[in-house]
Amino acid sequence: MEKSFKVLEKYARQQERDIEIPDSLPCIPLRNGLGVFPNTVVPFYVGREKSLIALEEAMEKYNRLLFVVNQIDPSVENPGPEDLYRVGTIVKVLQIMKLPDDTFKVLVEGLERARVEDFISTEPFFLVRLEVLKVKYRKTKKLEALMRSVKDKAIRYFNLTRKFPQETLVTLKEMQDPDRLADFVASILPVPLETKQELLETVHPLHRLEKVLSILVKEIEILEIEEEIEKKVKDRIEKTQREYVLREKLRAIKEELGAEEEVEIRELYEKVEKGDYPEYVKEKAVKEIQRLEKMSPYSAEATVVRTYLDWLLNLPWNVTTEDRIDVKETRKILDRNHYGLEEVKERILEYLVARKFSKNLKAPILCLVGPPGVGKTSLGRTIAEAMGRRFGRMSLGGLRDEAEIKGHRRTYVGAMPGRIIQIIRRVGTKNPVILLDEVDKMGISFQGDPASALLEVLDPEQNKDFVDHYLEIPFDLSQVLFITTANVLHTIPPALRDRMEIIEIPGYSDPEKYHIAKDYIVPRIANQYGLSRIEFTPGAIKKIIREYTKEAGVRNLERIIEKVVRKSLVKKERKHLKIGTKDVEELLGPAVYRAEDVLEEDTVGAVTGLAWTPAGGSVLIVESLLVPGKGNLILTGYMGDVMKESAKIALSVVRKMCGEECRDVFEKNDIHIHVPEGAVPKDGPSAGITITVALYSAVTGKKVKKDVAMTGEITLRGKILPVGGIREKLLAAKRAGIKKVILPERNRPDVEKIPKEYLNGLEIVFCREITDVLKEAVLG
C-alpha cells in the first residue's frame, strides 16, 4: 500500500486532473472493509457477476470511471440497494489483472466523494445517479494547526508500527493540501468499516482531520502499551534463561489480552470428554492436546497439531444413518431412475434383505463394468437414495499418487488425510455409499501405485481397521458400501479385481434405447427446459437411434434428442412440441450412420462375421482371394497381432482339411485375406472361424450363404472356442437382417441369458468343430 501512495504522488504530477465526471456511473459494492478514499491508489478484487458486468461497462462506455461503495453487511452475497451505504468514491480504473481463480484484481485511483441520489437500474448491474460532494474552505490557522498535529501523530504512529518505509514519511511531510492529507492518513488507519465509512462521509477536511487525529491518539496509546510490554519482556531476558523468558513474554501478553489459549485448550478437553469417540481416539486426542498445551501458540508445530485435532475430533467415528430396509420401495426407486440393469438391482436388494437378519453384515464391494454411457456412475447416486444413505464420489481416472488414497504423513508441509477420509468427513457418517469412478484408469508413477493403496480400502477383511497415514489410527470402513466403475477389466490389477464383485453391464439394444429415450430422457429434457410436453413419435426416436447414433450407452442419444428439442424450440417457439420422423431429418440433416454392409448374394471367398466394439456389436465381412504367386499369406485391413495369428491358424487348418488334392493351389497362389474398412483397427481371436470359412471357400471354389453370420475362435485341431460380446453380436446380426448365426457350443449359456424377444426371427446354431460350421455355412 505504501508503494501505491508513492505512485499516486507521481501520478498526480504527471496526469491531468480535470476529468469530466458524468451524472451516472456503474456501481461496484465492496465487502472487504477496504474503503477507497479520494486521492489514493488502491487495489481490490472483483468476482461477483454483477460487479464484473459493471466493470466491463465502465471500461467500454464510461471512460474507465466507476463508483465504489461499501456494503453495510459484508456477508450478503447478492446485495440490493438497501444493503449499501449511500456515500462512496468515484474512481478511475488504472489496471486490471485476471487471477487463476477467475477473479480480477483491479487497481483504481480515487477521484471524488459522491452520494447516490437514485438507483437507475439494478440489473444486470447497479447503475446509479450521483451527486459529487465538494466543499469550499479557507486554509485558516486552525486548519494549519490541525494539519501539523496530524502529521506529528502520524509520524509517531509510523515509527511505532515500523511497517512503513522511509518514502512514506517523506510523502507525508511534503503534503500541504489538508483534503489530501486527511484522506491519506484515513486510508492507512486500522479501523473498522463503520469508522472508515464515517470518515468517507465527512466532506469538510477540517472535521475529517479532527476525527483522524482522535483515532491516531488512540492507536498510539495502544502501540505504546505494546511497546511497554515488549520492554518488560526484554528486561526479564537479561535475568533468566531463554525458555523462561519466552514463557514470561507469553504471560505478559496474556495479562494484557486475556487467556485465549487456555480457553481453547479447555474447550478441546471438553469436546473429547463429551464426544462419542472410541477409547483409542480419546487417548490419541488427549496426548495431542497435552503436546499443544506445552507449545507456543504461535509456533508452526502448534498449527499442525490444531489441524490434526480438528480432523480427529470432527470425523463421524460412531455416526451412522439408518438403512431403508424396504424392498418394494427400493425396487421402485431403482426402476424409476434406471431402465434395465436387473443384475445390479437384484444384488442391492439381496444385500438389503440380508441386512434385515444381520446388522453386522459386511458391505459388498461392487464393480460395475460396461461401456461408456450405460449409467454406471449415476447408478451409485440412485443406490444411495434407495438405501437412505449419504453419497460421496471420487474419480480415480488419471490418479498417480497413492497419498490421494491413504493421505500424507504429518511430517510433510500441507499434509492432509486421503480422499476416502475427506469424503467420510464431508458426508458426516461412517456408512455412506462411496462411488470410486474409473477404477480401470489409474496410473503408476514415482509417487506410488494408487491401485495397491486401494487393496486395503476395498478388502472387506481389512478395511475394518483402515489406517490413513495422516490420522495414524484405524478408521472402520467396513460399513461403507463401495461401488467402483470401469469400462474394461484387463487394466485392473488382478489383486484388486479379486476383492470386488464384478457385475457386467452390457450395452443397450435398440429396443432398450427406445424405452430409455421415451420414458427417461424425453421427460427429463422437458422438465429441464420448462416445457409442458414433448411428444416424439416412435419412428422419430428409432430414426435417431439407428441413423444418428452409434454407441453402447445412451449419452450421445441424449445429446442428439436435446439438440432436436433445441432446434424445434427455435423453429416453433411454444411449450408443447410434437416431433415426427420428417422433423428429425429436417432438423438434423442427412443420416450420419448408414446401414451396415451385408452380402447381397451367395459368394465365393466372402463370409459375414460378427465383431464387438465399444459402441456395441457390428457386422464384419471377411474376404479371401487366390492370386498367382508362391504360397505367401497377405493380410490387409489394419489387423492386430492376435487377428493375424488367427489367420495363420486358419490357413493351417484349411490346408489340413483340403489335403494333397489342393497342394498345387497353395504352392502356386498367394492367399490374400482382407477385412474391409482398412482404416479401422481390428483385433481379437473371435474372427477365427470366419477367416477359416472364407479361406476354405476361396480354395475350393464353393459359395458361402449370404444370410449366415458367425463368430468363434479356431484351434489348430479345428475345435471352436467361446468368445465374448455375444449379446451385442447377436443384436448386430438381427439389425443387419441376418437369418442364421453360428456360435461356439460353449457360448450357449450366454445366449440363454438374453431375453427371447430380442432374438425373434434369428436362428442360432451351436457348433463344436469347424466341420460343423462348414456344413451350415457353405453350399455344396
Residue with cell 470518515: 199
Rounded to 5°, angle at Cα 358 from 355 and 359: 80
User: Which pLDDT does position 18 carry in this prediction?
Assistant: 57
Could you list the mean pLDDT of each consecutive 10-residue stretch along the chain, which spans 780 residues?
A: 41 50 90 82 88 89 91 87 90 89 88 90 90 85 85 82 74 81 84 86 86 86 83 68 70 59 79 85 88 79 86 88 82 83 81 75 81 83 86 85 83 85 91 89 72 82 86 88 86 85 80 85 86 85 84 84 87 82 85 73 90 78 90 89 91 88 84 84 87 92 91 93 87 84 93 81 91 87
* Alpha helices for 162-257 (secondary structure H): 166-174, 178-188, 193-201, 205-237, 242-257
pLDDT tens, position by position, 52-82: 999 898 888 888 999 999 998 888 888 988 9
Pairwise CA distance, residues 714 & 687, whole Å: 8
Q: Which of 555, 549, 554, 628 lies closest to 591 in space, CA to CA? A: 549
Residues designated as active site: 686, 729
Q: Which of 10, 29, 11 lies closest to 73 in space, CA to CA? A: 29
What are the φ and ψ backbone dihedral angles of 131, each rounded to 5 degrees?
A: -120, 115
State how far Cα 449 lies from the chain centre: 22
User: Which pLDDT does position 337 carry in this prediction?
Assistant: 82
What is the grid cell recorded at 20? 469530466
Q: How are the residues of the chain apportioned to helix, strand and coil, as percentages rounded to the nearest 5?
A: 45, 20, 35
| Fold of the 2-132 domain | 2.30.130
What is the grid cell recorded at 640? 492386430
Task: Note whether 93 and 69 are within 8 A (CB).
Answer: no
pLDDT tens, position by position, 240-287: 566 777 777 766 765 555 455 677 788 888 888 888 888 888 888 888
Instruction: List the beta bridge partners of residue 367.
Output: 484, 502
For 641: left if phi > 0, alpha if psi spans -120 to 50, otherwise beta; the answer is alpha
What is the grid cell recorded at 644? 493375424
| Coil, strand or helix at 442 | coil
Intrachain domains 2-132 and 510-588 with the same fold: no
Task: Note whether 477 and 463 are within 8 A (CB).
Answer: yes
* CATH, domain range 510-588: 1.10.8.60
State the binding site. 370-377
State the binding site for ATP. 370-377
| Fold of the 141-228 domain | Methane Monooxygenase Hydroxylase; Chain G, domain 1 (1.20.58)
Cα separation values, 98 from 31, 45, 51, Å:
19, 10, 14
Pairwise CA distance, residues 742 & 73, whole Å: 76
* CATH, domain range 603-777: 3.30.230.10
Answer CATH for 327-504 from 3.40.50.620, 3.40.50.10860, 3.10.20.30, 3.40.50.300: 3.40.50.300
Q: Where are the domains of the chain?
A: 2-132, 141-228, 259-313, 327-504, 510-588, 603-777
| Coil, strand or helix at 68 | strand
Pairwise CA distance, residues 254 & 707, whole Å: 93
* pLDDT, the chain, mean: 84
Strand 501-504 to 740-744 pairing: unpaired
DSSP string, 258-287: --HHHHHHHHHHHHHHHS---HHHHHHHHH
Pairwise CA distance, residues 85 & 168, whole Å: 30
